[in-house]
Protein backbone atom coordinates (compact mmCIF):
# COMPACT_ATOMS: atom_id res chain seq x y z
CA UNK A 1 0.00 0.00 0.00
CA UNK A 2 0.96 3.65 -0.40
CA UNK A 3 2.00 6.07 2.37
CA UNK A 4 -0.87 7.38 4.48
CA UNK A 5 -2.51 10.59 3.30
CA UNK A 6 -5.01 12.88 4.96
CA UNK A 7 -8.05 11.74 2.94
CA UNK A 8 -9.04 8.88 0.66
CA UNK A 9 -12.18 9.42 -1.39
CA UNK A 10 -13.81 6.20 -2.59
CA UNK A 11 -16.39 6.71 -5.34
CA UNK A 12 -18.68 3.75 -6.07
CA UNK A 13 -20.46 4.43 -9.36
CA UNK A 14 -23.27 2.02 -10.20
CA UNK A 15 -23.99 2.95 -13.80
CA UNK A 16 -25.27 -0.31 -15.26
CA UNK A 17 -28.55 1.49 -15.87
CA UNK A 18 -29.76 4.68 -17.53
CA UNK A 19 -27.21 6.75 -15.58
CA UNK A 20 -24.19 5.36 -17.43
CA UNK A 21 -23.86 8.48 -19.57
CA UNK A 22 -23.90 10.73 -16.51
CA UNK A 23 -21.28 8.59 -14.80
CA UNK A 24 -18.67 9.23 -17.48
CA UNK A 25 -19.14 12.97 -17.14
CA UNK A 26 -19.10 12.64 -13.35
CA UNK A 27 -15.73 10.88 -13.40
CA UNK A 28 -14.29 13.48 -15.76
CA UNK A 29 -15.54 16.13 -13.36
CA UNK A 30 -13.35 14.55 -10.68
CA UNK A 31 -10.38 14.70 -13.04
CA UNK A 32 -10.51 18.48 -12.89
CA UNK A 33 -9.24 18.08 -9.32
CA UNK A 34 -7.49 14.73 -9.28
CA UNK A 35 -5.58 13.10 -6.47
CA UNK A 36 -2.99 15.16 -4.63
CA UNK A 37 -0.23 14.86 -2.04
CA UNK A 38 -2.91 14.89 0.67
CA UNK A 39 -5.85 13.14 -1.01
CA UNK A 40 -6.42 9.89 -2.92
CA UNK A 41 -9.43 9.75 -5.24
CA UNK A 42 -10.28 6.20 -6.28
CA UNK A 43 -13.34 5.21 -8.31
CA UNK A 44 -15.06 2.02 -9.38
CA UNK A 45 -17.22 2.76 -12.42
CA UNK A 46 -19.57 0.18 -13.89
CA UNK A 47 -21.46 0.88 -17.10
CA UNK A 48 -23.94 -1.30 -18.90
CA UNK A 49 -23.64 -2.41 -22.48
CA UNK A 50 -25.60 -0.95 -25.36
CA UNK A 51 -25.59 -1.61 -29.09
CA UNK A 52 -24.14 1.80 -29.90
CA UNK A 53 -20.95 0.83 -28.06
CA UNK A 54 -19.94 -1.16 -31.13
CA UNK A 55 -20.03 2.08 -33.11
CA UNK A 56 -18.54 4.47 -30.56
CA UNK A 57 -15.97 2.04 -29.19
CA UNK A 58 -16.99 2.62 -25.57
CA UNK A 59 -15.91 0.02 -23.04
CA UNK A 60 -18.35 -1.86 -20.86
CA UNK A 61 -18.26 -3.54 -17.48
CA UNK A 62 -16.59 -2.27 -14.30
CA UNK A 63 -13.20 -0.61 -13.97
CA UNK A 64 -11.22 0.83 -11.12
CA UNK A 65 -9.46 4.16 -11.58
CA UNK A 66 -6.94 6.17 -9.64
CA UNK A 67 -8.30 9.60 -10.47
CA UNK A 68 -5.59 12.00 -11.61
CA UNK A 69 -5.79 15.62 -12.64
CA UNK A 70 -6.45 15.85 -16.37
CA UNK A 71 -4.10 17.91 -18.52
CA UNK A 72 -6.86 18.33 -21.09
CA UNK A 73 -10.13 18.69 -19.20
CA UNK A 74 -13.38 19.04 -21.08
CA UNK A 75 -14.05 22.68 -20.30
CA UNK A 76 -15.77 25.47 -22.15
CA UNK A 77 -12.54 25.97 -24.08
CA UNK A 78 -12.44 22.37 -25.29
CA UNK A 79 -13.32 21.46 -28.85
CA UNK A 80 -15.33 18.50 -27.67
CA UNK A 81 -18.29 19.60 -25.61
CA UNK A 82 -21.61 18.25 -24.54
CA UNK A 83 -24.18 19.14 -27.18
CA UNK A 84 -26.13 21.40 -24.83
CA UNK A 85 -23.45 24.08 -25.30
CA UNK A 86 -23.16 23.64 -29.03
CA UNK A 87 -24.58 26.98 -30.09
CA UNK A 88 -22.50 28.91 -27.57
CA UNK A 89 -19.30 27.28 -28.80
CA UNK A 90 -20.26 27.69 -32.45
CA UNK A 91 -21.42 31.29 -32.27
CA UNK A 92 -19.16 32.81 -29.61
CA UNK A 93 -16.04 30.70 -29.50
CA UNK A 94 -16.05 30.03 -33.26
CA UNK A 95 -15.07 26.44 -32.54
CA UNK A 96 -16.64 23.78 -34.76
CA UNK A 97 -18.61 21.22 -32.81
CA UNK A 98 -20.88 18.33 -33.59
CA UNK A 99 -24.34 19.47 -34.62
CA UNK A 100 -27.25 17.23 -33.74
CA UNK A 101 -29.96 17.70 -36.36
CA UNK A 102 -33.24 18.45 -34.65
CA UNK A 103 -35.80 19.16 -37.38
CA UNK A 104 -39.29 19.56 -36.08
CA UNK A 105 -38.31 21.09 -32.77
CA UNK A 106 -40.58 24.11 -33.23
CA UNK A 107 -43.51 21.97 -34.32
CA UNK A 108 -43.85 20.41 -30.88
CA UNK A 109 -45.96 22.21 -28.28
CA UNK A 110 -45.26 24.71 -26.90
CA UNK A 111 -42.54 25.49 -29.48
CA UNK A 112 -44.65 26.56 -32.46
CA UNK A 113 -42.88 27.64 -35.68
CA UNK A 114 -43.11 31.41 -35.50
CA UNK A 115 -40.44 34.08 -35.67
CA UNK A 116 -41.68 35.68 -32.45
CA UNK A 117 -41.29 32.49 -30.47
CA UNK A 118 -37.89 31.79 -31.96
CA UNK A 119 -36.79 35.24 -30.79
CA UNK A 120 -38.31 34.68 -27.35
CA UNK A 121 -36.56 31.37 -26.84
CA UNK A 122 -33.34 32.77 -28.27
CA UNK A 123 -33.39 35.27 -25.39
CA UNK A 124 -33.94 32.49 -22.88
CA UNK A 125 -31.07 30.55 -24.41
CA UNK A 126 -28.77 33.56 -24.14
CA UNK A 127 -29.66 33.92 -20.45
CA UNK A 128 -28.90 30.28 -19.82
CA UNK A 129 -25.61 30.47 -21.69
CA UNK A 130 -24.66 33.50 -19.59
CA UNK A 131 -25.14 31.37 -16.50
CA UNK A 132 -23.22 28.47 -18.00
CA UNK A 133 -20.28 30.58 -19.05
CA UNK A 134 -19.80 32.02 -15.57
CA UNK A 135 -20.65 29.06 -13.37
CA UNK A 136 -19.02 26.40 -15.54
CA UNK A 137 -15.82 28.23 -16.53
CA UNK A 138 -13.15 25.59 -16.17
CA UNK A 139 -15.70 22.86 -15.51
CA UNK A 140 -17.05 20.09 -17.71
CA UNK A 141 -19.89 20.90 -20.01
CA UNK A 142 -22.60 18.68 -18.61
CA UNK A 143 -26.34 18.60 -19.29
CA UNK A 144 -27.03 22.32 -19.49
CA UNK A 145 -29.84 22.89 -19.80
CA UNK A 146 -31.27 19.94 -21.73
CA UNK A 147 -30.62 20.33 -25.46
CA UNK A 148 -32.47 23.55 -26.23
CA UNK A 149 -29.44 25.46 -27.48
CA UNK A 150 -28.63 23.05 -30.28
CA UNK A 151 -32.28 22.37 -30.97
CA UNK A 152 -33.06 26.03 -31.52
CA UNK A 153 -29.97 26.54 -33.62
CA UNK A 154 -30.83 23.64 -35.86
CA UNK A 155 -34.47 24.69 -36.07
CA UNK A 156 -33.54 28.19 -37.18
CA UNK A 157 -31.17 26.83 -39.80
CA UNK A 158 -33.88 24.56 -41.11
CA UNK A 159 -36.63 27.16 -41.06
CA UNK A 160 -37.20 28.11 -44.68
CA UNK A 161 -39.98 27.64 -47.27
CA UNK A 162 -38.02 24.86 -48.92
CA UNK A 163 -37.40 23.03 -45.64
CA UNK A 164 -40.63 22.61 -43.69
CA UNK A 165 -40.18 21.45 -40.14
CA UNK A 166 -41.88 18.09 -40.20
CA UNK A 167 -39.58 15.58 -38.55
CA UNK A 168 -39.90 14.54 -34.94
CA UNK A 169 -37.81 16.20 -32.27
CA UNK A 170 -34.83 14.05 -31.35
CA UNK A 171 -32.99 14.26 -28.05
CA UNK A 172 -29.31 13.44 -28.59
CA UNK A 173 -28.18 10.56 -26.43
CA UNK A 174 -24.44 10.74 -27.00
CA UNK A 175 -22.40 13.28 -25.09
CA UNK A 176 -19.11 14.48 -26.52
CA UNK A 177 -16.44 13.19 -26.77
CA UNK A 178 -18.24 10.07 -25.63
CA UNK A 179 -19.24 8.59 -22.35
CA UNK A 180 -15.80 7.24 -21.52
CA UNK A 181 -13.32 8.42 -24.12
CA UNK A 182 -12.68 11.65 -22.25
CA UNK A 183 -11.57 9.75 -19.13
CA UNK A 184 -7.80 10.07 -18.81
CA UNK A 185 -7.13 8.59 -15.37
CA UNK A 186 -5.19 5.31 -15.31
CA UNK A 187 -7.17 2.08 -15.10
CA UNK A 188 -6.04 0.09 -12.09
CA UNK A 189 -8.16 -2.96 -12.78
CA UNK A 190 -10.71 -4.15 -15.33
CA UNK A 191 -13.27 -6.19 -13.40
CA UNK A 192 -15.42 -7.10 -16.39
CA UNK A 193 -19.15 -7.54 -15.98
CA UNK A 194 -20.04 -7.54 -12.28
CA UNK A 195 -23.16 -6.86 -10.24
CA UNK A 196 -22.51 -3.57 -8.44
CA UNK A 197 -25.68 -4.13 -6.40
CA UNK A 198 -24.16 -7.26 -4.83
CA UNK A 199 -23.04 -7.03 -1.22
CA UNK A 200 -19.66 -8.58 -2.05
CA UNK A 201 -18.92 -6.07 -4.84
CA UNK A 202 -19.31 -3.08 -2.53
CA UNK A 203 -17.48 -4.76 0.35
CA UNK A 204 -14.56 -5.71 -1.90
CA UNK A 205 -14.22 -2.18 -3.25
CA UNK A 206 -14.28 -0.52 0.16
CA UNK A 207 -11.80 -3.04 1.60
CA UNK A 208 -9.49 -2.72 -1.42
CA UNK A 209 -9.62 1.07 -1.45
CA UNK A 210 -9.02 1.55 2.27
CA UNK A 211 -6.20 -1.01 2.41
CA UNK A 212 -4.34 0.09 -0.71
CA UNK A 213 -4.85 3.83 -0.29
CA UNK A 214 -4.57 4.40 3.46
CA UNK A 215 -5.54 7.74 4.92
CA UNK A 216 -6.46 9.30 8.24
CA UNK A 217 -9.99 9.87 6.96
CA UNK A 218 -12.18 8.20 4.34
CA UNK A 219 -15.13 9.56 2.36
CA UNK A 220 -17.27 6.94 0.61
CA UNK A 221 -19.50 8.33 -2.14
CA UNK A 222 -22.18 6.08 -3.63
CA UNK A 223 -23.61 7.28 -6.94
CA UNK A 224 -26.52 5.43 -8.53
CA UNK A 225 -30.29 5.18 -8.23
CA UNK A 226 -31.79 5.12 -4.75
CA UNK A 227 -35.19 4.15 -3.37
CA UNK A 228 -35.04 5.15 0.29
CA UNK A 229 -35.69 2.36 2.80
CA UNK A 230 -36.06 -0.20 0.04
CA UNK A 231 -32.74 -0.21 -1.79
CA UNK A 232 -29.88 1.59 -3.53
CA UNK A 233 -27.47 0.97 -6.45
CA UNK A 234 -29.42 -0.25 -9.45
CA UNK A 235 -27.76 -2.81 -11.72
CA UNK A 236 -29.20 -4.59 -14.74
CA UNK A 237 -27.41 -7.76 -13.61
CA UNK A 238 -28.77 -7.56 -10.07
CA UNK A 239 -29.74 -10.81 -8.41
CA UNK A 240 -32.10 -8.89 -6.13
CA UNK A 241 -35.82 -8.93 -7.01
CA UNK A 242 -35.71 -5.15 -6.59
CA UNK A 243 -32.94 -4.77 -9.16
CA UNK A 244 -31.04 -2.87 -6.47
CA UNK A 245 -29.15 -3.63 -3.26
CA UNK A 246 -31.47 -3.80 -0.21
CA UNK A 247 -30.44 -1.34 2.49
CA UNK A 248 -29.75 -4.18 4.93
CA UNK A 249 -27.34 -5.71 2.41
CA UNK A 250 -25.67 -2.32 1.97
CA UNK A 251 -25.14 -2.20 5.72
CA UNK A 252 -23.77 -5.72 5.63
CA UNK A 253 -21.30 -4.83 2.89
CA UNK A 254 -19.83 -1.96 4.90
CA UNK A 255 -19.72 -4.12 8.02
CA UNK A 256 -17.86 -6.85 6.08
CA UNK A 257 -15.30 -4.34 4.85
CA UNK A 258 -14.85 -2.77 8.29
CA UNK A 259 -14.08 -6.15 9.85
CA UNK A 260 -11.29 -6.77 7.33
CA UNK A 261 -9.88 -3.24 7.34
CA UNK A 262 -10.24 -2.56 11.05
CA UNK A 263 -11.95 0.80 10.57
CA UNK A 264 -14.96 2.28 8.83
CA UNK A 265 -15.38 5.30 6.52
CA UNK A 266 -15.72 8.61 8.33
CA UNK A 267 -18.29 10.04 5.93
CA UNK A 268 -20.84 8.19 3.80
CA UNK A 269 -22.38 10.30 1.03
CA UNK A 270 -25.22 9.22 -1.26
CA UNK A 271 -25.50 10.78 -4.68
CA UNK A 272 -28.75 8.87 -5.10
CA UNK A 273 -32.42 9.71 -4.65
CA UNK A 274 -34.36 9.49 -1.38
CA UNK A 275 -31.58 8.13 0.86
CA UNK A 276 -31.87 10.92 3.45
CA UNK A 277 -34.39 8.93 5.47
CA UNK A 278 -34.57 8.11 9.17
CA UNK A 279 -34.90 4.39 8.48
CA UNK A 280 -31.82 4.41 6.22
CA UNK A 281 -29.72 6.51 8.59
CA UNK A 282 -30.60 4.27 11.53
CA UNK A 283 -29.79 1.13 9.54
CA UNK A 284 -26.37 2.59 8.67
CA UNK A 285 -25.67 4.24 12.03
CA UNK A 286 -22.64 2.04 12.75
CA UNK A 287 -21.12 2.08 9.24
CA UNK A 288 -19.82 5.68 9.33
CA UNK A 289 -19.79 8.68 11.64
CA UNK A 290 -21.55 11.09 9.28
CA UNK A 291 -23.91 10.73 6.36
CA UNK A 292 -24.78 13.15 3.56
CA UNK A 293 -27.93 12.40 1.58
CA UNK A 294 -31.05 13.87 0.05
CA UNK A 295 -34.49 12.96 1.39
CA UNK A 296 -35.77 14.11 -1.99
CA UNK A 297 -35.02 13.08 -5.57
CA UNK A 298 -31.62 14.14 -6.90
CA UNK A 299 -31.81 16.05 -10.14
CA UNK A 300 -29.41 17.65 -12.62
CA UNK A 301 -27.38 19.40 -9.92
CA UNK A 302 -27.02 16.74 -7.25
CA UNK A 303 -23.75 16.52 -5.35
CA UNK A 304 -21.10 18.67 -7.09
CA UNK A 305 -18.29 16.40 -5.91
CA UNK A 306 -15.69 17.93 -8.22
CA UNK A 307 -16.15 21.37 -6.71
CA UNK A 308 -16.26 19.94 -3.19
CA UNK A 309 -12.97 18.12 -3.66
CA UNK A 310 -11.38 21.16 -5.23
CA UNK A 311 -12.34 23.09 -2.10
CA UNK A 312 -10.81 20.32 0.02
CA UNK A 313 -7.61 20.46 -2.04
CA UNK A 314 -7.34 24.24 -1.72
CA UNK A 315 -7.84 24.12 2.04
CA UNK A 316 -5.23 21.40 2.44
CA UNK A 317 -2.73 23.42 0.41
CA UNK A 318 -3.22 26.26 2.89
CA UNK A 319 -2.27 23.89 5.69
CA UNK A 320 -5.81 23.51 7.02
CA UNK A 321 -6.94 20.22 8.52
CA UNK A 322 -10.39 19.30 7.24
CA UNK A 323 -12.17 17.05 9.70
CA UNK A 324 -14.95 14.63 8.66
CA UNK A 325 -17.76 16.67 10.20
CA UNK A 326 -16.59 19.80 8.41
CA UNK A 327 -16.40 17.97 5.08
CA UNK A 328 -19.92 16.59 5.49
CA UNK A 329 -21.26 20.08 6.20
CA UNK A 330 -19.29 21.50 3.26
CA UNK A 331 -20.97 19.02 0.92
CA UNK A 332 -24.36 20.38 1.95
CA UNK A 333 -23.18 23.98 1.61
CA UNK A 334 -22.03 23.33 -1.96
CA UNK A 335 -25.42 21.92 -2.89
CA UNK A 336 -26.91 25.27 -1.86
CA UNK A 337 -24.06 27.26 -3.43
CA UNK A 338 -24.74 25.55 -6.75
CA UNK A 339 -28.36 26.68 -6.64
CA UNK A 340 -27.53 30.24 -5.53
CA UNK A 341 -25.01 30.60 -8.35
CA UNK A 342 -27.67 29.67 -10.85
CA UNK A 343 -30.16 32.21 -9.52
CA UNK A 344 -27.52 34.93 -9.76
CA UNK A 345 -27.04 34.36 -13.46
CA UNK A 346 -30.17 32.95 -15.07
CA UNK A 347 -33.73 32.00 -14.18
CA UNK A 348 -33.18 28.26 -14.36
CA UNK A 349 -36.12 26.28 -13.00
CA UNK A 350 -35.80 24.84 -9.51
CA UNK A 351 -36.48 21.41 -11.01
CA UNK A 352 -32.85 21.39 -12.16
CA UNK A 353 -31.70 21.23 -8.56
CA UNK A 354 -31.88 18.66 -5.78
CA UNK A 355 -34.62 20.09 -3.50
CA UNK A 356 -33.00 19.19 -0.17
CA UNK A 357 -29.56 18.03 0.98
CA UNK A 358 -28.77 17.01 4.55
CA UNK A 359 -25.74 16.12 6.69
CA UNK A 360 -26.45 13.76 9.60
CA UNK A 361 -24.52 12.75 12.70
CA UNK A 362 -24.97 8.99 12.65
CA UNK A 363 -23.49 8.64 16.13
CA UNK A 364 -26.60 10.39 17.51
CA UNK A 365 -29.18 8.19 15.78
CA UNK A 366 -29.95 6.46 19.08
CA UNK A 367 -31.32 9.76 20.38
CA UNK A 368 -33.65 10.02 17.40
CA UNK A 369 -34.68 6.37 17.71
CA UNK A 370 -35.76 6.87 21.31
CA UNK A 371 -37.64 10.06 20.49
CA UNK A 372 -39.49 8.51 17.54
CA UNK A 373 -40.32 5.41 19.57
CA UNK A 374 -41.79 7.58 22.34
CA UNK A 375 -43.64 9.69 19.76
CA UNK A 376 -45.10 6.60 18.08
CA UNK A 377 -46.21 5.15 21.41
CA UNK A 378 -47.81 8.48 22.35
CA UNK A 379 -49.71 8.53 19.05
CA UNK A 380 -50.98 5.02 19.75
CA UNK A 381 -52.04 5.92 23.30
CA UNK A 382 -53.72 9.15 22.16
CA UNK A 383 -56.06 7.11 19.93
CA UNK A 384 -56.65 9.98 17.51
CA UNK A 385 -59.53 10.00 15.10
CA UNK A 386 -58.24 8.35 11.92
CA UNK A 387 -59.43 11.19 9.75
CA UNK A 388 -57.48 13.63 11.91
CA UNK A 389 -54.35 11.49 11.59
CA UNK A 390 -54.78 11.23 7.83
CA UNK A 391 -55.26 14.97 7.61
CA UNK A 392 -52.05 15.59 9.55
CA UNK A 393 -50.09 13.00 7.56
CA UNK A 394 -51.30 14.09 4.13
CA UNK A 395 -50.55 17.71 5.01
CA UNK A 396 -46.96 16.87 5.89
CA UNK A 397 -44.26 17.76 3.37
CA UNK A 398 -43.79 14.87 0.92
CA UNK A 399 -40.42 14.54 -0.80
CA UNK A 400 -41.80 12.11 -3.37
CA UNK A 401 -43.21 13.15 -6.71
CA UNK A 402 -45.59 10.51 -8.05
CA UNK A 403 -43.82 7.22 -7.54
CA UNK A 404 -44.83 4.66 -4.95
CA UNK A 405 -43.79 4.43 -2.14
CA UNK A 406 -41.92 7.74 -2.41
CA UNK A 407 -45.14 9.74 -2.02
CA UNK A 408 -45.11 8.60 1.60
CA UNK A 409 -41.53 9.77 2.20
CA UNK A 410 -42.51 12.73 4.38
CA UNK A 411 -40.54 15.15 6.51
CA UNK A 412 -40.36 13.88 10.08
CA UNK A 413 -39.86 17.34 11.58
CA UNK A 414 -42.78 18.82 9.68
CA UNK A 415 -45.06 16.05 10.95
CA UNK A 416 -43.88 16.43 14.55
CA UNK A 417 -44.42 20.18 14.35
CA UNK A 418 -47.92 19.68 12.94
CA UNK A 419 -48.85 17.29 15.75
CA UNK A 420 -47.34 19.53 18.40
CA UNK A 421 -49.19 22.65 17.29
CA UNK A 422 -52.56 21.34 16.08
CA UNK A 423 -55.39 22.72 18.21
CA UNK A 424 -57.49 19.60 17.59
CA UNK A 425 -55.07 17.54 19.68
CA UNK A 426 -55.67 17.87 23.41
CA UNK A 427 -53.11 15.37 24.73
CA UNK A 428 -50.21 17.15 26.54
CA UNK A 429 -48.22 13.91 26.48
CA UNK A 430 -48.47 13.67 22.70
CA UNK A 431 -47.45 17.28 22.23
CA UNK A 432 -44.49 16.74 24.56
CA UNK A 433 -43.46 13.68 22.55
CA UNK A 434 -43.64 15.68 19.32
CA UNK A 435 -41.39 18.33 20.84
CA UNK A 436 -38.91 15.65 21.84
CA UNK A 437 -38.66 14.55 18.19
CA UNK A 438 -37.86 18.12 17.16
CA UNK A 439 -35.13 18.28 19.79
CA UNK A 440 -33.68 14.97 18.57
CA UNK A 441 -33.66 16.21 14.98
CA UNK A 442 -31.77 19.27 16.12
CA UNK A 443 -29.15 16.91 17.53
CA UNK A 444 -28.90 14.59 14.52
CA UNK A 445 -29.23 17.03 11.61
CA UNK A 446 -25.96 18.96 11.43
CA UNK A 447 -26.75 20.89 8.27
CA UNK A 448 -29.56 21.00 5.73
CA UNK A 449 -30.26 23.16 2.72
CA UNK A 450 -33.37 23.59 0.61
CA UNK A 451 -33.21 24.60 -3.04
CA UNK A 452 -36.95 24.39 -3.63
CA UNK A 453 -39.25 26.75 -1.70
CA UNK A 454 -41.80 23.96 -1.52
CA UNK A 455 -39.49 21.93 0.72
CA UNK A 456 -38.31 24.84 2.88
CA UNK A 457 -40.63 23.96 5.78
CA UNK A 458 -38.96 20.59 6.20
CA UNK A 459 -36.13 19.82 8.62
CA UNK A 460 -34.21 17.66 6.16
CA UNK A 461 -34.96 14.07 7.19
CA UNK A 462 -37.78 11.96 5.82
CA UNK A 463 -39.61 9.00 7.31
CA UNK A 464 -42.17 6.62 5.86
CA UNK A 465 -45.52 8.18 6.73
CA UNK A 466 -48.52 6.87 4.88
CA UNK A 467 -51.85 8.65 5.43
CA UNK A 468 -53.49 5.27 5.02
CA UNK A 469 -54.01 2.84 2.21
CA UNK A 470 -56.69 3.87 -0.28
CA UNK A 471 -59.82 1.81 -0.32
CA UNK A 472 -59.67 -0.96 -2.89
CA UNK A 473 -62.67 -2.80 -4.27
CA UNK A 474 -63.00 -6.53 -3.67
CA UNK A 475 -62.36 -7.40 -7.34
CA UNK A 476 -59.22 -5.26 -7.52
CA UNK A 477 -58.02 -6.62 -4.18
CA UNK A 478 -58.45 -10.18 -5.48
CA UNK A 479 -56.55 -9.34 -8.67
CA UNK A 480 -53.69 -7.80 -6.70
CA UNK A 481 -53.50 -10.86 -4.47
CA UNK A 482 -53.45 -13.27 -7.44
CA UNK A 483 -50.86 -11.12 -9.24
CA UNK A 484 -48.66 -10.95 -6.18
CA UNK A 485 -48.93 -7.17 -5.99
CA UNK A 486 -48.26 -5.86 -2.52
CA UNK A 487 -49.16 -2.44 -1.18
CA UNK A 488 -46.48 0.12 -0.31
CA UNK A 489 -47.42 -0.24 3.36
CA UNK A 490 -46.98 -4.01 3.32
CA UNK A 491 -43.57 -3.66 1.64
CA UNK A 492 -42.55 -1.28 4.40
CA UNK A 493 -43.86 -3.45 7.22
CA UNK A 494 -42.10 -6.53 5.81
CA UNK A 495 -38.81 -4.77 5.07
CA UNK A 496 -37.07 -6.13 8.16
CA UNK A 497 -35.44 -2.77 8.87
CA UNK A 498 -33.79 -2.35 12.26
CA UNK A 499 -35.70 0.89 12.74
CA UNK A 500 -38.97 -1.05 12.69
CA UNK A 501 -37.61 -3.61 15.13
CA UNK A 502 -36.38 -0.98 17.58
CA UNK A 503 -39.31 1.46 17.48
CA UNK A 504 -43.10 1.29 17.48
CA UNK A 505 -43.35 3.48 14.39
CA UNK A 506 -44.66 0.63 12.25
CA UNK A 507 -47.21 -0.38 14.89
CA UNK A 508 -48.43 3.21 14.96
CA UNK A 509 -48.81 3.27 11.16
CA UNK A 510 -50.68 -0.01 11.22
CA UNK A 511 -53.08 1.36 13.81
CA UNK A 512 -53.97 4.40 11.72
CA UNK A 513 -53.71 2.97 8.21
CA UNK A 514 -56.51 0.43 8.51
CA UNK A 515 -60.13 0.91 7.61
CA UNK A 516 -62.46 2.68 10.03
Domain count for the chain, please give it. 3
Most confident residue range from 55-64, 164-173, 371-380: 371-380
pLDDT at 402: 60
208 & 272 share domain: yes
204 & 337 share domain: yes
317 & 437 share domain: no
374 & 461 share domain: yes
439 & 297 share domain: no
Residue-range definition of the domain harbouring residue 206: 5-70+180-345
pLDDT at 439: 97
66 & 87 share domain: no
Q: Is residue 334 part of a domain?
A: yes
114-123, 139-148, 284-293, 410-419: range with lowest mean pLDDT = 139-148
Calculate mean pLDDT across residues 168-183. 44
- For 310-363, write each residue's pLDDT tens digit: 889 999 999 999 999 999 999 998 876 554 444 344 334 444 456 788 999 999
Helices (H), 50-198: 53-56, 86-88, 115-135, 148-158
Q: Is residue 143 part of a domain?
A: yes
pLDDT at 132: 43
Q: Is residue 108 part of a domain?
A: yes
Pairing state between β 215-223 and 5-15: parallel
Q: Is residue 471 part of a domain?
A: yes
Domain boundary among 345, 373, 389: 345
pLDDT over 90, % of the chain: 50
Domain boundary among 314, 345, 376: 345
Other CB atoms within a 10 A radius of the CB of residue 483 amount to 8
Q: Is residue 320 part of a domain?
A: yes
Residues 342-375: b if buried by 16+ CB within 10 A, e if exposed: beebbebebebbbbbbbbbbbebbebbbebbbbb
Give the containing element (helix H, strand E) for 511.
helix 505-513
**Residue 138 Rama label (left phi>0; alpha psi -120 to 50; beta):** left
Higher pLDDT, residue 323 or 55: 323
Cβ–Cβ under 8 Å, residues 229 and 175: no
- For 184-204, write each residue's pLDDT tens digit: 899 999 999 999 999 999 999
Q: Tell me the CATH number at 56.
A: 3.40.50.11970
- For 33-53, write each residue's pLDDT tens digit: 899 999 999 999 998 776 556
Q: Is residue 41 part of a domain?
A: yes
pLDDT at residue 74 tops 60? no
- Report the half-sphere exposure of 298 (CA within 13 A, side-chain side): 28
Q: How far apart are CA 66 and CA 45, in angstroms?
A: 11
CA-wise closest residue to 511 among 422, 408, 383, 412: 383
Calculate mean pLDDT across residues 356-376. 97
397 & 482 share domain: yes
Q: Is residue 428 part of a domain?
A: yes
Cβ–Cβ under 8 Å, residues 234 and 191: no
Burial of residue 474 (number of CB atoms within 10 Å: 0-12, 13-18, 19+): exposed
DSSP string, 299-319: -SB---HHHHHHHHHHHHHTT
Helices (H), 383-427: 386-394, 412-421
Calculate mean pLDDT across residues 94-110. 36
Domain boundary among 345, 376, 400: 345
66 & 90 share domain: no
- For 424-466, write each residue's pLDDT tens digit: 999 999 999 999 999 999 999 999 987 667 777 899 999 999 8
Q: Is residue 56 part of a domain?
A: yes
206: helix, strand or coil:
helix
196 & 323 share domain: yes
65 & 195 share domain: yes
187: helix, strand or coil:
strand
Q: In the predicted model, what is the mean pLDDT of the chain?
A: 77
**What is the value of pTM for the model shown?**
0.78
Q: How far apart are CA 453 and CA 389, in angstroms?
A: 25
409 & 322 share domain: no
Distances in Å between the Cα of 101 and the Cα atoms of 98, 105, 147, 155 are: 10, 10, 11, 8
190: helix, strand or coil:
strand
Amino acid sequence: SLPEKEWTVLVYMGGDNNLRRDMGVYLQDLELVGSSDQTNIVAQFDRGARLLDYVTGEWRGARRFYVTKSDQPQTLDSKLLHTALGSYVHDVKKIPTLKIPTPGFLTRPPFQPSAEQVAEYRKAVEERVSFLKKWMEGYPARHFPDTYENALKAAEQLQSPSKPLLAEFHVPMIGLPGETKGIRSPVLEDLGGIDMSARKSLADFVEWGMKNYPARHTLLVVKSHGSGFRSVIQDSQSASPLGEMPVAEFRGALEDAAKKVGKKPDVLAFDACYMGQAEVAYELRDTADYMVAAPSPEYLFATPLGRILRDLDEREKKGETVMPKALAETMVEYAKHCFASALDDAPLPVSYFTPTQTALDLTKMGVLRDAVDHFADSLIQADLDKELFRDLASGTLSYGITSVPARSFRDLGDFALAVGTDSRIASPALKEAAGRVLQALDTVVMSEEHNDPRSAKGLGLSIYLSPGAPRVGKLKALFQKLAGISSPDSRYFSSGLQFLKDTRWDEMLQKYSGKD
